[in-house]
Amino acid sequence: MTSELVYLGGLRTEAKHIQSGSIIVTDAPTDNQGKGEAFSPKDLTATSLGACMLTTIGIAANTHNIKFDGAKATVQKIMAANPRRIAEIKIVLDFPKNNYTEKEKAILKNTALTCPVAISLHPDIKQDVTLNF
């Protein structure tokens, strides 16, 4: 089992990661009857894409001895209506300053674009990824 969730009322949930005991609270966004006081489930979907990219790039960087610590990702989720859904996720990956070779850049880019979350999302969700080396 991965997680256990409880509906707390007021359009809020609490999710517990079984292995670690970590807790994440979600809240409905203000444009959908919520208070917007925590990540919405859709925010977590978009954020998971950025976290997956950084994590898998970290694995590739370790494998290929590429300096990667300090890399950052910014995430923007763009919604569509009728039906309400995620239409696009924009990710900007900022890599630490390094003299990356073209081969290293290709490894890092391919790793980002093929991370498990990226290839699990529905193909109708546009993934706009910018890599700043």
DSSP string, 63-96: HHT---TT-EEEEEEEEETTTTEEEEEEEEEEPP
Taking only the tens of pLDDT, the chain with its 133 residues reads: 999 999 999 999 999 999 999 999 999 999 999 999 999 999 999 999 999 999 999 999 999 999 999 999 999 999 999 999 999 999 999 999 999 999 999 999 999 999 999 999 999 999 999 999 9
Beta strand 126-132 with 85-94 is parallel
CATH number of 41-132: 3.30.300.20
Rounded CA gap, 7 and 14, in Å?
7
Going from N- to C-terminal start, the domains of the chain cover 3-32, 41-132
pTM here is 0.94
With contact defined as beta carbons under 8 Å apart, do 15 and 1 qualify? no
With contact defined as beta carbons under 8 Å apart, do 115 and 56 qualify? yes
